[in-house]
Amino acid sequence: MSVALNSKILHNLPVSWPTWAAGASVPACLALAWQSEQWAAGASGAVAGLGYLAWNRYGRKSGANGSSTDATASFTSLMAAAERDAEPEGDLVQKMLAAGRYSLLLRPQIANNLQPDQLYAAEQALDANMSCVPGGPVIMRPRRFEDMDEDELARNERTVDVDGYFLDRYPVTNEAYLRFVQDGGYEQMNLWDATIWPAVLGFVDSSGLSGPRYWKHGHPTDEKRQHPVVGICWYEAAAYARWAGKRLATDPEWVKAGAWPVVADGAPPQQRRYPWGDALDRSLVHVWGSGRDDTTSTFGRPLGASVGGVQELVGNVWEWTSTSFGVWDLANLKIETATPMRSIRGGAFDTYFDSQCHLHFQSGESPLARKHNIGFRCAVGFCDVASYQNSSETEEQEAAA
């Protein structure tokens, strides 16, 4: 194993978070309660931390068999074992490729240490699984833009410049998310926002194991392995994205991938309402009335793709983005909520109104919601892919010469 490659990857990967995180949360919660006088909330957090410590000490051994323990070993554990056992570097790269973490391998800090064939394999995986979305302007509209006349809409829509990026061709499937769970994704602290650590203990499936809400015994049913993963909150989606070396797309990025703005002769960008055009075609999308009141395979409607080849942006499941809900609305038209919500887009299999299942409609949900009809997909900027970063630098140098 190359020490240089190992150290590079370790530096850019999350480390595992064993029980010390739960232990640390106990005094932290009590200190917070003392400072804020929110004794109920502080006590709840402390109890949750103590509960995890107890479960980790006694429950894990009785509730998990040997294979699941092996499956949930963190990537850092894998790296440590590889270092200790002098595992061939190629084996490690192959494991990362098999897990769908090619984007991590292509980060400049790591890609420069790969062998040419390894770099080629990672680039091929990127091309196969993600669509290239060029940089440029995209028009973002208020949530109720269809109730506005032309002049009012022109005053209230906003043009946003988006840098070039890659977007997953498909929503993240249950099968892909299973690899994250089996790699110990729920136990690696750097994948999660620090503010959400106590809540991670409650992100469990129907049998009490870490994972999406509707799974059982730590995995999805065989029938739904190719369906988009649902029952995950915004924080779980964000943690998966970090594990994969990606991130959630912003609202403008998500809209641009589907609406595919065209700028000609200095006119405002011309944008599509749906990935395939401007008219709703129910044969290309899975929404209410399409024949099945549940999610379906993400690979079943290839003709509904965007110009760039992104599938299922509309229908099947809503998708989390990294943007806050209501950010495109006028101040006097914003929906006031007790807690900030995150943007979801695209509509789902149970979306009834046509006005809510097109590219320009934004809805919102609590970032802690784990609903049956919300999934996600991931993005990565050109700047985070070594070969594209080098191309950009060359173009800038040539332009400056």
Closest CA to 321 of 184, 181, 171, 180: 171
pLDDT at 357 over 60: yes
Confidence of residue 396 (pLDDT cuts 50, 70, 90): low
Confidence of residue 381 (pLDDT cuts 50, 70, 90): very high
The answer to whether 76 touches 16, Cβ cutoff 8 Å, is: yes
Cα torsion 83, 84, 88, 94: sign: negative
User: Residue 232 corresponds to which tokens in the numbers above?
Assistant: 């995950």
Higher pLDDT, 153 or 305: 305
Reported as a single tens digit per residue, the pLDDT across 122-166 is: 999 999 999 999 999 999 998 888 888 888 888 889 999 999 999
pLDDT value at position 336? 75
Among 68-82, 94-108, 141-155, which is the least confidently predicted range?
68-82
Cα 46 from Cα 33, distance rounded (Å)? 10
- For β-strands 318-324 and 374-375, DSSP reports them as parallel
* Three-state secondary structure call for residue 286: coil
Cα 260 from Cα 162, distance rounded (Å)? 12
Give the 3-state DSSP-derived string for 325-353, with helices as H, strands as E and coil as C: CCCCCCHHHCCCCCCCCEEEECCCCCCCC
pLDDT value at position 148? 83
The mean per-residue pLDDT over the stretch 273-295 comes to 92
Residue corresponding to tokens 């990565």: 380
Q: What are the CB-based long-range contacts (under 8 Å, 24+) for 44-47?
A: 45/198
pLDDT at 321 over 50: yes
Reported as a single tens digit per residue, the pLDDT across 236-253 is: 999 999 999 999 999 999
Q: Which CATH superfamily is domain 131-384 in?
A: paralog of FGE (formylglycine-generating enzyme) (3.90.1580.10)
pLDDT at 8 over 80: no
pLDDT value at position 3? 44
